[in-house]
Amino acid sequence: MLLIVALGLGAAVLYGASDFFGASAARRHHLINATTLNYAVAMVLLIVALPILGGTWSATANWAGSVAGALAVLGLISFYGVLAIGPMSLLSPLIALVQSAVPVAVAAFTGQGLNLTAWIAIAIAVVAILLLSPPPKLGRDHVSLRGAGLAIFSGLTLGASLVALDFAPENSGVIPAFWEIAVGLVILLLLLLAVRLFRGRAAWMSLLEPEVETASGLSSRRAWIEAAAAGLLAGVANIFVVTGLHVGNLAVIAVLIALYPVLTVILAATVLKERMTPLQFVGIGLAIGASLLFTAS
């Protein structure tokens, strides 16, 4: 279980940093542009890692990674859109909660066995995720109807992508992660082409445009660097995830990954100067406690 916890928490840390940098870049550049660079960098990393880490090619590994890629890219676009719309510390934990609920429900329904300690750890982690989300401030930190809809969609699709990855055979190595990024990159390139061709002529294009002002303090070059860094971190996180799913339980991996708001909240507090509440500190403590319980289960 120690290896599973290490892989799950490692992925959570990497995803938390990736989401922070990716959302920051999306504030400065068009959402699809930033996300496409994110995926392109991750694709390069997976191409380099594939012959080193290896895996057995199979139809199941291919379709599991491809389905996961289609779901994940839709979830990620929605995720960045949500974070660009509202306060990062408020919306990120909400998405994580929905995202973790899907794999946990599937794992319970399919009979993936967990002992009592592990289920207690899951319950504590869920409480931690809820506490990481601070109460909205009157007149400021509110979630719009559009933001709430995107958040639910993002959580559902990201959670479903993890379920799809879990169908990959244990001997497939990082091949599912390769297909996940490859399919996602193709979808993003098609969306990028559609944005260029139909911008201003199709109402649905407005869904891909975050309703935020340009971040005047963030240079264009720095934003591109942040988008590239987000891709590098996400690529490594994907490797951790597929490795964890090969050796561990879907519910455990899903809940550990869903703790990524811990790092997102910390980065938002240190870099963006978003104030952390006492409940958020309690949430971080509970997240650590849940991780220790998983190790002991």
Over residues 145-164, mean pLDDT: 86
* pLDDT tens by residue, 22-46: 777 766 766 777 788 889 999 999 9
* pLDDT tens by residue, 193-247: 887 777 655 554 555 554 444 444 556 778 788 889 999 999 999 999 999 999 8
Residue 296 pLDDT more than 60? yes
Q: What is the pLDDT of residue 146?
A: 73
Q: Quick one: angle between helices 2-28 and 278-296, nearest 10?
A: 150
How many domains does the chain contain in total?
Answer: 1
Verdict on whether the full-model pTM lies above 0.75 = yes
* pLDDT tens by residue, 72-127: 999 888 877 776 666 555 666 778 888 888 998 888 888 776 788 888 888 898 88
Four-residue CA torsion sign, 105, 109, 112, 117:
positive
**CB-CB neighbours of 174 under 10 Å:** 25
Q: What is the pLDDT of residue 59?
A: 96
Q: What is the pLDDT of residue 1?
A: 72
Q: Which domain holds residue 142?
A: 2-296
Helices and strands, counts by H and E, the chain: 11, 0
